[in-house]
Amino acid sequence: MSSNGKLTIDGREIDIRGEKNLLEIIRRAGINLPTFCYHSELSVYGACRLCLVETDKLGLVAACSTPPQEGIVIRTNTLRTRRLRKMVIELLLANHERECTTCSRSGRCKLQLLAHQLGVKEVRFGKRDKKLPIDLTSPSIVRDPNKCILCGDCVRMCKEVQGLGIWDFAHRGSKTVVTTAFDKELSDVACVNCGQCVSVCPTGALTVKSEIDKVWNAIHNPDKTVVAQIAPAVRVALGEEFGLGAGEDVTGKIVAGLKLTGVDRVFDTLFTADMTTIEESNEFLVRLEKNEKLPIFTSCCPSWVKYCEQFHAELLPNVSSCRSPQQMFGSVVKKYYAKKLNKRPEDVFVVSIMPCVAKKFEAQRPEFTTGGVPDVDAVLTTVETAQMFNEAFIDFTALVNKAFDNPLGVGSGAALIFGASGGVMESVVRYVAGLTGGDEVGRIDFLPVRGMEGIKTASVEVKGRVLKLAVVNGLANTEKLISMIKSGEASFDAIEVMSCPGGCVGGGGQPDVNDTVARIRRAGEIYEMDRVQQLHKPQDNYFVGKAFEEWFGGVNNHETHHALHTTYVPRRRINGKPFIMNDSRSQPLRVSVCLGTGCYLRGAYDVIKEFNDLAENQGIAGQIELNGTFCLEKCDNGVSVNVNDEIITGVTPENAGEIFRNNISILVDKN
């Protein structure tokens, strides 16, 4: 391995610049070798075999897992590599549910793209032999195992970045699948709906659950007033779906597009983001004063909230009771704005435009309702919104910018930066500094909490007290931070948690490619927009201040707690029937039949079956725990049966009834 020197790629001499593997150098040299399983942010997996190259020293190697070597001669395009790549694609296509025209991933599917690029014109093998059921149970994510190519990207993303491991491989050989623990439905496991697995899935195996039709139905229903809110991170990413660069500000076009589709009012989530900062900061200040429930954790990120409910029930009192901006918006619209329109809550349809997949889950939480109807009726991701524009044949790039409607259409720069990791914390700092420092406090750019780094720490002085702040993104990093706090290695007063890398700009509902480069660009534009924004601090937002006075008679009071706050309860990680460890009446009788080769050949399976039938017939099946076991080492005397640690040998299918009567059912009666 060498971190500098030169090597040769397809006849050209190229510098090694500290890359970890050949693939990065080859791509820098202008050869975009394809991969399914390589992601610079994840561990090297080496399974798709598309990046195989021929070398003079090592033969045929996977470029992704081979460290650079000084002087090595690499050829990327040879008869062998080309044939191999085509065959890999052909093999994958053979086992792939090829309903491409109706697949939601069509046009963005890497498999489809590579088949086309490599000129794979026919599939000479048979089709998939079995159609597996599609999992539609999650409010956020749809899993179609028939389209999975087993690249393992979702597995590693969930395990390495989110520290959860919801997905993993099960079974072997051609029966291998990616699935959840115990093959449970996605809604029944600890999935926090962040959608990062969807972001890395190259095919239509993992997709976002679409709510587009629900929104169209509302738009086309004359009795409904459709109200939209747009989250900050959407406006710097949606343009990518129409060929604009990552990070281009398309706020005005989104507003215009939504109006064109028939949305009645287009508002800004920034309005309630400012409310969130004000409520949360006041909550923080009260806790500081009482010196209780510290550190305070932010609660804007629904994935983090679910994670905390599942894995850290002990921290729930520390999580801010503030609803997220999306839910504050829904609540405010259904409880107050609807009245203004003389509408019942059910006649106002709130649709959120979000970079996030977990917001779909959050909107469906039972506590977020008004008069029995959900505060937020539908959540569209950035990608879904672009899809909606496409369905309406809107020429997005040609749209003329439009402004948000009022009164919920104004937000400060402090709300805008909610879209990037560190933004909520910076916003709180701006508010608290303004509150304590008064009018003299000018613009505050709190740089230490900005950037893509996983864990960021900073401190700030308020009224002579130095507050220690932490900002974390990615749940694996969050877990790391929590264990640091628990071990006493670190202590903080306030912690911002965002589940997605880089914060909401890197959300699971953002366009492809959703990598670090794209995230940096999007966040960069958000801070640029904040720089030119006149309203800097939440308290600069006149409309928000007015709303607090008009609707709640102030901030952080009983009224705001009813409409803008919530409560949390610990949540099970795995749903479904509990495992019965033992019968409450008595310990079950343990009967295990040896299934080693010798006993198997002498009819062990028939013995098990016989025992099972007898137990059922005598109505004592519940009191007997019947199992097969590995070899009991009485091979010359099989079939062997272990009854409560006593081994009975010489059992045959013929005498099984007798043995059951004499040695098993008697014991059950005694119990």
Partner 1 sequence: MLNSRAELDVLKKKALTEISSMQKRILVCAGTGCVANGSLKVFDLFKQLLAQRPELAVSIELEKEHSQQEISAHTSGCHGFCQMGPLVRIEPRGTLYCKVKPEDVSEIFEEHIINGRVVSRLLYQDDHTHSPIETQDEIPFYKNQLRIALANCGRIDPDDIEDYIAHDGYQSLAKALFEMTPDEVVKEVLDSGLRGRGGGGFPTGRKWLFAREAAGEKKYIICNGDEGDPGAFMDRSVMEGDPHRVIEGMMLAGYAVGADEGYIYVRAEYPLAVKRLRTAVETAGKHGMLGEKILGSGFSFKVNIKEGAGAFVCGEETALIASIEGERGMPRPRPPFPAVSGLWGCPTIINNVETLANLPAIILNGSGWFTNIGTLTSTGTKTFALAGQIAHTGLVEVPMGLTLRKIVFDIGGGLRDNKIFKAVQIGGPSGGCLTKEHLDLPLDYDSLQKVGAMVGSGGMVVMGEDTCMVEVAKFFMGFVQNESCGKCVPCREGSRRMLELLTRIASGSGTEEDLLLLEELALIVKDGSLCGLGKTAPNPVLTTLRYFRSEYEAHVRDKKCPAGVCKDLLDYRIDPSLCRGCGLCKKVCPADAISGVKKEPHRIDPEKCIKCGTCISKCKFGSIVTN
Residue 473 phi/psi, 5-degree rounding, is -130, 145
CB of 124 to partner 1, least distance (A): 6
Q: Contact, 273 vs 232, CB < 8 A?
A: yes
Which CB sits closer to partner 1, 95 or 370? 95
Q: How far is the CB of 46 from partner 1 (least distance, A)?
A: 3
Work out how close the CB of 170 gets to partner 1 at its nearest, in angstroms, rounded to a whole number.
9
CB 154, min distance to partner 1, A: 15
Tokens at residue 463, please?
């009224």
- Using the rule CB under 8 A, which residue among 14, 42, 94, 260 binds partner 1? 94
Strands (E), 515-608: 589-594
CA 65 to chain centre: 27
Site for partner 1 in 601-630 (CB under 8 A): 630
Per CB under 8 A, the list member of 7, 22, 25, 48 interacting with partner 1 is 48
Name the catalytic one among 41, 367, 550, 658. Answer: 367
> By C-alpha distance, which of 285, 652, 660, 302 is closest to 475?
302
Residue 73 preceded by cis peptide, ω within 30 = no
Is residue 367 flagged as an active site residue? Answer: yes
Residue 52 contacts partner 1 per CB under 8 A = yes
Known active-site residue 359 = yes
Q: Which listed residue (73, 87, 118, 212) binds partner 1 by CB under 8 A?
A: 87
Q: Does 174 bind partner 1 (CB under 8 A)?
A: yes
Please report whether residue 91 would count as binding partner 1 according to CB under 8 A.
yes
Binding of partner 1 at residue 65 (CB under 8 A)? yes
Residue 466 burial (C-beta neighbours within 10 Å; 0-12, 13-18, 19+):
exposed
CB 210 within 8 A of CB 384: yes
Shortest Cβ 63–partner 1 spacing (Å): 11
Residue 4 CB contacts under 8 Å (≥ 6 apart), including other chains: 15, 16, 17, 18
The span from the CA of 497 to the CA of 478, in Å, is 7
62 binds partner 1 (CB under 8 A): yes
| Rounded Cα distance, 506 and 520, in Å | 9
Catalytic site includes residue 97? no
* 438, two tokens: 């008064």
Name the minimum Å distance from CB 524 to partner 1. 35
Distance CA 164, CA 176 (A): 21
Q: How far is the CB of 487 from partner 1 (least distance, A)?
A: 22
Active site residue 658: no
Catalytic position from the list 194, 504, 594, 599 = 504
Beta carbon of residue 181, minimum distance to partner 1 (angstroms, whole number): 13
Q: Closer to partner 1 at the Cβ: 54 or 248?
A: 54
Smallest distance, partner 1 to C-beta of residue 184, A: 18
Q: Rank residues 48 and 332 by Cβ distance to partner 1 and give the closer one.
A: 48
Closest among 508, 503, 537, 535 to 522, alpha carbons compared? 503
User: Is 426 among the residues known to form the active site?
Assistant: no
511 in helix, strand or coil?
A: coil
Q: Which of 24, 240, 241, 283 is the catalytic position?
A: 283
Contacts of residue 630, defined as CB under 8 A and 6 or more positions apart, other chains included, come to 594, 595, 596
Q: What is the 3-state secondary structure (H, E, C) of 167-224?
A: CEEECCHHHCEEECHHHCCHHHCCCCCCCHHHHHCCCCCEEECCCHHHHHHHHCCCCC
Three-state secondary-structure class, residue 496: strand
Q: Would you give the binding string for partner 1 spanning residues 111-140, x where CB under 8 A is met?
A: -------------xxx--------------
Token digits for 437? 């420092």
Site mask for partner 1 (CB under 8 A), range 490-519, x = bound: ------------------------------
- Name the active-site residue from 281, 299, 320, 324: 320
Q: How far is the CB of 325 from partner 1 (least distance, A)?
A: 40
Number of residues that bind partner 1 (CB under 8 A): 44
Q: Tell which one of 71, 99, 117, 169 touches partner 1 (CB under 8 A).
A: 169
Rank residues 92 and 643 by Cβ distance to partner 1 and give the closer one: 92
Q: How many CA atoms lie within 13 A of 596 on its CB side?
A: 14
* Between 54 and 479, CB nearer to partner 1: 54
Give the whole-angstrom CA distance, residue 604 versus residue 653.
8
Among 70, 367, 616, 633, binds partner 1 (CB under 8 A): 633
Using CB under 8 A, which residues numbered 310 to 339 contact partner 1?
Answer: none
Strand 73-75 relative to strand 6-9, pairing: parallel
Could you say which of 300, 308, 356, 594 is catalytic? Answer: 300
**Angle in degrees, 0-180, between the axes of helices 382-391 and 212-219, rounded to the nearest 10:** 50
Q: Which is nearer to partner 1, 75 or 561 (CB)?
A: 75
Percent helix, percent strand, percent coil in the chain, to nearest 5: 45, 15, 40
Residues 148-167 that bind partner 1 (CB under 8 A): 149-150, 152
H or E element at residue 240: none
- Residue 24 is a catalytic residue: no
Give the type of residue at 617.
N
**Among 25, 53, 92, 308, interactor with partner 1 by CB under 8 A:** 92
Cα distances from 301 to residues 36, 188, 440, 530, 634, in angstroms, run: 29, 20, 33, 21, 59
Q: Enumerate residues 6+ apart whose C-beta is below 8 A from 343.
A: 225
Q: Is 176 in the site for partner 1 (CB under 8 A)?
A: yes
Binding residue for partner 1, selected from 121, 172, 558, 585, defined by CB under 8 A:
172
> Which of 77/557 has CB closer to partner 1?
77
CB-nearer residue toward partner 1: 68 or 139: 68
**636 binds partner 1, rule: CB under 8 A:** yes
Closest distance to partner 1 from the beta carbon of 199 (Å): 22
Written as six digits, the tokens of 131 are 């159609």
Site for partner 1 in 562-601 (CB under 8 A): 596-598
Q: Does 80 bind partner 1 (CB under 8 A)?
A: yes
- Indicate if 496 belongs to the active site: no
Structure tokens at 426: 């910076």
Q: Which of 118, 631, 647, 667 binds partner 1 (CB under 8 A)?
A: 631
Please report how many Cα atoms fall inside a 13 Å half-sphere around the Cα of residue 378, on the Cβ side: 22
Helix 423-437 vs helix 269-290: angle between axes, to the nearest 10 degrees? 60
320 has catalytic annotation:
yes
Q: What is the DSSP string of 463-480?
A: TTEEEEEEEEESHHHHHH
Contact residues for partner 1, defined by CB under 8 A: 44-49, 52, 60, 62, 64-67, 80, 83-84, 87-88, 91-92, 94-95, 124-126, 149-150, 152, 168-169, 171-176, 596-598, 630-631, 633, 635-636
Q: So which residues are the catalytic ones? A: 280, 283, 300, 320, 359, 362, 367, 504
